[in-house]
Structures are given as structure tokens and as C-alpha cells.
């Protein structure tokens, strides 16, 4: 779904993808598996024609000027802001909500650049309102302002730290996430940094 007053997906090209050698991002672009799903996953650059009804989740690489940031949960894991769409929620509203809840940030702009194409092996959808068994995680970078503390709603994960970093430093923090492949998260930060530079 598209936010009221916004052009439809096919009427806007949200980011002009320059010529990129995706072999520079081997951990992000290879097929992988999330055992907690269980879900099979494949990254693709943003297609020109996207069925927004398949978007189940948003993943945000945030920027504050030339810096980015990561969040740390109370279990010690470092992560990026993002999460599952609520019933009837537009993807851009989900981006705004997740940034406020998990980072205390206000959205200035959001630029999708890729998708995770997902296939779930669960017998039922993760939540009844979500597409199943095939769905999409929409990935984009956001220009934001850090304005308040994470709101940490009671039904969500608890964020205990928001740390400003250079995008190149993400690998040092995500490297310990061996259980779900932290290397792809690091490359997910590196790719939009390249896209932002190419757009200047």
C-alpha cells in the first residue's frame, strides 16, 4: 500500500541504482536461511515493479549526516532498526514507527534500494495478517534525526543503546551474530553508503 497522496510505486523510482558489482557483497547476495523462521532468503536490488501487498517487514539502514547508527538489544545483540508491519499499516508508516520505537529517531526521508525475497516453511503465517508463504522484506536507507529515547513498547524487544558509527564499522559489531549471519548485516550497511555517495 502507498501512503495517501504519494505516487504509486510504479510512478516513482525511489533510488536510481548505479552500476554496482554485487560480487563485492557476497554475504548479502548469496541465498541463505533463517532457522528461526524457518525462512529461505534471497537479496535482490529494488525491482522496478514491486507488489507492495507482499511486504511483511521493513529493514532500515539509518543515517544521521555522514554517520549511521546501530541499536543494541538487552540480550547484547547489535541490530538495525526495522520490524513487522502491523495490520493495515503502510510500509512507510512502519518505517516511522520502528525508528521511533527502536532508536528514538524521526524520519526525514526513506529510500528503498533492495528486497529480501522470502519463502517460509511454517505451516501458517507468522501473524494472520501477513502474506504467506512468500513475502518480502523491504530494505532502504533513511535520513533521520535522533530526537528522543527509544520508546520500547512493552510488546517489543528492548533497546538499551543507540550507537553512532561509520558504515564501515558495522562489520565489527555484527560479526558476533553467527547464529543468523551477521556478515550480511554489515554488507547491508556498506551498500547504501555506496548508493548515497553515488547520488551526490
pLDDT in tens, 6-36: 444 433 344 555 568 889 999 999 998 989 8
pLDDT in tens, 41-96: 999 998 888 899 999 999 999 999 999 999 999 999 899 999 999 999 999 999 99
Q: How far is CA 37 from CA 32, 76, 113, 132, in A?
A: 12, 21, 24, 12
pLDDT in tens, 139-169: 999 999 999 999 999 988 899 999 999 999 9
The alpha carbon of residue 128 and the mean position of all alpha carbons in its chain are separated, in whole angstroms, by: 22
Cell 535520513 locates to 143
Q: Which of 39-48, 128-137, 175-184 shows the lowest mean pLDDT across its residues?
A: 175-184
Q: Which domains does the chain have, with CATH numbers?
A: 9-199 (3.90.79.10)
The predicted pLDDT at position 173 comes to 87
DSSP H or E run through 174: helix 170-174
Q: Could you tell me the sign of the dihedral formed by the alpha carbons of 9, 14, 15, 21, in that order?
A: negative
pTM of the model: 0.89
Q: Which residue has the higher pLDDT, 105 or 34?
A: 105
Q: Could you tell me the sign of the dihedral formed by the alpha carbons of 176, 182, 183, 186, in that order?
A: negative
Amino acid at each position: 500500500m502507498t501512503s495517501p497522496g504519494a505516487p504509486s510505486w510504479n510512478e516513482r523510482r525511489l533510488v536510481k541504482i548505479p552500476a554496482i558489482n554485487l560480487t563485492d557483497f557476497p554475504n548479502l547476495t548469496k541465498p541463505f536461511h533463517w532457522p528461526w523462521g524457518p525462512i529461505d532468503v534471497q537479496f535482490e536490488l529494488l525491482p522496478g515493479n514491486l507488489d507492495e501487498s507482499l511486504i511483511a517487514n521493513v529493514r532500515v539502514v539509518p543515517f544521521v549526516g555522514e554517520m549511521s547508527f546501530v541499536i543494541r538489544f538487552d540480550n547484547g545483540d547489535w541490530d538495525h532498526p526495522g520490524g513487522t508491519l502491523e495490520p493495515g499499516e503502510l510500509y512507510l508508516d512502519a518505517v516511522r514507527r520502528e525508528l521511533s520505537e527502536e532508536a528514538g529517531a524521526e524520519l526525514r526521508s526513506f529510500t528503498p534500494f533492495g528486497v529480501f525475497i522470502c519463502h517460509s516453511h511454517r505451516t501458517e503465517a507468522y501473524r494472520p495478517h501477513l502474506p504467506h508463504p512468500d513475502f518480502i522484506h523491504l530494505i532502504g536507507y533513511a535520513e533521520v534525526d535522533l530526537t528522543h529515547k527509544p520508546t520500547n513498547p512493552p510488546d517489543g524487544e528492548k533497546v538499551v543503546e543507540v550507537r553512532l558509527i561509520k558504515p564501515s564499522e558495522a562489520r565489527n559489531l555484527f560479526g558476533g551474530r553467527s547464529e543468523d549471519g551477521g556478515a550480511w548485516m554489515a554488507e547491508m550497511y556498506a551498500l547504501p553508503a555506496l548508493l548515497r555517495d553515488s547520488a551526490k
